[in-house]
Amino acid sequence: MSNFKKLSDVRQFSAEKMKKNGIFETDRFFCDTYCFEPGQEQSPHTHGGQDKVYYVLEGRGMFKVGDEERELGPGEIALAPAGQNHGVANRSQQRLVTLVFVTPKPHH
């Protein structure tokens, strides 16, 4: 695994649903891009033992963390602490690309 990546190489979309594209993974965390076509979403869910950070690279999306929901665009960031319900919806007509960090890495 290379310690260096070009984000444009991990920017893939799926017509069926939001696409997760792996960038880095260690024993302690992982980093992905989540790519949403217009209308796609990541349903609200909770991680009991992991913190998640969403950083918007491209487009605009509605980010829900706990009881709060905000529209974020490029250069904006959201934290979903462990135990907080969170999700993302692309309600725009443009693609949405987020950089996502999760730590510690879930063990499925």
Q: What is the number of other CB atoms lying within 10 angstroms of the CB of residue 7?
A: 13
What is the pTM (predicted TM-score) of this model?
0.94
Domain assignments of the chain as residue spans, ordered by start: 21-32+39-103
Q: What stretches of the chain adopt beta strand conformation (E)?
A: 19-25, 30-36, 41-45, 51-58, 61-65, 68-72, 77-80, 86-89, 96-103
Q: Peptide bond before 104: cis, by omega within 30 degrees of 0?
A: yes
CATH 1.10.10.10 fits 21-32+39-103, yes or no: no
The stretches in the chain having pLDDT less than 50 are: none
Phi and psi based region of residue 91 (left: phi greater than 0; alpha: psi -120 to 50; beta: remaining): alpha
